[in-house]
Chains A and B, each alone.
Chain A
Amino acid sequence: MKVLVCVSNVPDTTTKITFTDQNTQFNTAGVQFILNPYDEIALARAIELCEGGNGSVTVINVGEASSEPTIRKALAIGADDAVRVNSAPRDAYFVSYQIAQYAKENNFDLILTGRESIDYNGSQVAAMIGEFLDIPSVSIIKKLDVSDNNATIHREIEGGKEMLSVPLPLVVSCAEGVAEPKIPNMRGIMSARTKPLQVVEPKEIEKISEFKSFETPAPRGTVTMIDAGDTEKLVSLLHSEAKVI
């Protein structure tokens, strides 16, 4: 089985988000970039599914050379080889198109993404790849098993879950539950340096959206502290002041 895992390079979760150039650019000064936490889950499941010579795992990233440490991390965790499409990730449409083009030429049985990237988080890439390739996609899955060219999937829905059966080839976006992230061991880290990392140039596609500006949420007013013994007061404020009950 050939598995492709899409990985994005995102600001560390502790990053305080700020913007520059009149709020048009994300301020990357001092920001540590990491492998998107959901992609770690997708990668871990891909490795599990291919264990014991049962297949190979390729990771793909659409990004500039600065995302190579993140790609190497994915190789250290256990991917066999990697591809970087050499372009800043313009938006999900652009990213998905690049990944779909690569996948078309290389026939993967299964393509995994994370549920969302924690920066621009659109939860779009998986379903867009599916549409570009005209194959099924299932977004935000919690469980994935594969046998005989068929996947059994649990997908989250509001207030419950859905069990699906889908033939390969298939694209899924992975949430918690699909696998536990794997921590690279020493051997993985050593071998990651020599595993193949191919760089390919992007293909042109029309632009249909553009991030114009950003803002951070307005700070909240000051907190009203309430005496521990006085829960009645809290209830009355929630009713009369906040008007939420």
Chain B
Amino acid sequence: MSVLVYVENADGRFKKSIFEVVSYAKSVADKLNTNLTAISVGDVSNDELSNLGKYGAAKVLKVSNERLKTFVNQAYASIIADAAKRENATVVVLANSFTGKGLAPRIAVKLQSGLADSAVELPEIDNGKFIVKKTAFSGKAFAHIELTSEIKIIALNPNSYQINEVGGEADVEDFQPQANESDFKTMVKEIVRAADKVSLPEAELVVSAGRGMKGPENWGMIEELANVLGAATACSKPVSDAGWRPHEEHVGQTGIAVSPNLYIAIGISGAIQHLAGVSSSKTIVVINKDPEAPFFKVADYGIVGDAFEIVPKLTEAIKAYKAHA
């Protein structure tokens, strides 16, 4: 028996969300009195891999192969399922990232295993029952899903589990996967990453703005506030529909669901569809000129006033705070 965690890399490095996933998987392994094995596919240095020991991985299986450098979801799914079998894994954990969402369902079918996507807490393991809490109804609710298959798969939401430093170095072992030729039909032509941007789904701090900003030309102050905070930027749906901001910034029920430590909503009314995607934020700040805006009902801190005056002032106040901190 063991727990297997898939550690997805971005250009050879692991992001914070992966340390969360490893810490989570380690806690699952502890609950089951077993060891944690990680599997990495692609071009990652041995130092980076053995460092996963810090978060609880006893061993890391390393798959490095020219053809597997970039993510090919069919091939990766075959490899992870193969490793789960060879390691006798009863639980497979991965990140509920864009990549994880393409991968986990394929692994679930290969292993005929129940999949809890968007998990937000450790599983309840009790009397042979295995129940996972996950978000449902686009953030408007949580569901407790029981996985009854022999092998269970959990895809963990970002910002849902504390990183724990528990150990030292992990052993790195080469792993020779069995890959099928038919797994390589998908060709990655190009990857574009905006190096200086904080990725929204994983961001700890988010500055979000709505139609109250009047037009795209006024986003400079939003970006500046995000910059001084080191936050990601987001927006309401009408803003991306109007083309003021790109689609990938749209949060809400029909956009991205976020759960940062801090969500600052500027000139957003707080419609139910918007709140669905942001309600699991730990702290919410609302800036709106209308004291009756529904967003204030779910806010922790609120300022009634004109965003065009308040936002630059807030940016200055944060700069001053950072200069002293």
Interface residues of A (CB under 8 A from B): 11, 13-14, 16-17, 19, 37-38, 92-93, 96, 118-128, 130-132, 134-140, 142, 155-167, 175-177, 206-217, 220-221, 223-229, 231-232, 234-239, 242, 244-245
A208 touches B193 (CB 8 A): no
- Which residue of chain A lies nearest to B111 when distances are taken between CB atoms in the complex? A208
Q: Is B314 an interface residue (CB 8 A)?
A: yes
Which residues of B in the span 273-325 have a Cβ within 8 Å of any Cβ on A? 273, 276, 279-280, 282-286, 296-306, 309-310, 313-314, 316-318, 320-321, 325
Chain B residues positioned under 8 Å from A223 (CB to CB): 286, 296-297, 299-302
Question: In the complex, what distance in Å separates the CA atom of A177 from the CA atom of B240?
Answer: 10
Chain A residues positioned under 8 Å from B104 (CB to CB): 124, 127
For the complex of A and B, list the 3 residue pairs with the smallest distance between their C-beta atoms, beginning with the closest.
A228-B305, A209-B114, A160-B193
B143 touches A214 (CB 8 A): yes
B188 touches A162 (CB 8 A): yes
Question: In the complex, what distance in Å separates the CA atom of A213 from the CA atom of B134?
Answer: 11
**CB within 8 Å for A158 and B73 given contacts A206-B112, A223-B300, A235-B317:** no
- Which residue of chain A lies nearest to B301 when distances are taken between CB atoms in the complex? A224
Which residues of B in the span 215-253 have a Cβ within 8 Å of any Cβ on A? 229, 240, 247-248, 250, 253
Chain A residues positioned under 8 Å from B97 (CB to CB): 158
Chain A residues positioned under 8 Å from B297 (CB to CB): 223
Question: In the complex, what distance in Å separates the CA atom of A207 from the CA atom of B194?
Answer: 42
- Which residue of chain B lies nearest to A152 when distances are taken between CB atoms in the complex? B189
- Which residue of chain A lies nearest to B135 when distances are taken between CB atoms in the complex? A121
A176 touches B185 (CB 8 A): no
Choice from B117, B139, B144, B300 contacting A212 with Cβ under 8 Å: B144
- Which residue of chain A lies nearest to B74 when distances are taken between CB atoms in the complex? A136
**CB within 8 Å for A238 and B105 given contacts A138-B186, A142-B247:** no
**CB within 8 Å for A157 and B191 given contacts A208-B114, A209-B149, A239-B321:** yes
Chain B residues positioned under 8 Å from A239 (CB to CB): 321, 325
Question: In the complex, what distance in Å separates the CA atom of A131 from the CA atom of B147?
Answer: 20
Chain A residues positioned under 8 Å from B204 (CB to CB): 244
**CB within 8 Å for A245 and B193 given contacts A122-B117, A176-B240:** no
Q: Is B166 an interface residue (CB 8 A)?
A: no
Q: Is B122 an interface residue (CB 8 A)?
A: no
**CB within 8 Å for A220 and B300 given contacts A122-B117, A176-B250, A228-B305:** yes
Chain A residues positioned under 8 Å from B99 (CB to CB): 157
**CB within 8 Å for A118 and B253 given contacts A166-B185, A242-B262:** yes
In the assembled complex, the CB of A51 is this many whole angstroms from the nearest CB of chain B, namely: 23
Since A38-B254, A217-B142, A244-B282 are in contact, a sample of 13 more A-B pairs with Cβ atoms closer than 8 Å, ordered by chain A residue number, is: A96-B109, A127-B102, A134-B182, A156-B98, A159-B193, A213-B144, A215-B142, A216-B141, A226-B301, A235-B320, A239-B321, A242-B282, A245-B321
A214 touches B136 (CB 8 A): yes
Contact string, B192-213, partner A, CB cutoff 8 A, digits 1/0?
A: 1110011101101100000000
Choice from B10, B101, B105, B255 contacting A131 with Cβ under 8 Å: B105
B302 touches A235 (CB 8 A): no
- Which residue of chain A lies nearest to B190 when distances are taken between CB atoms in the complex? A163
Question: In the complex, what distance in Å separates the CA atom of A96 from the CA atom of B283?
Answer: 37
In the assembled complex, the CB of B14 is this many whole angstroms from the nearest CB of chain A, namely: 12
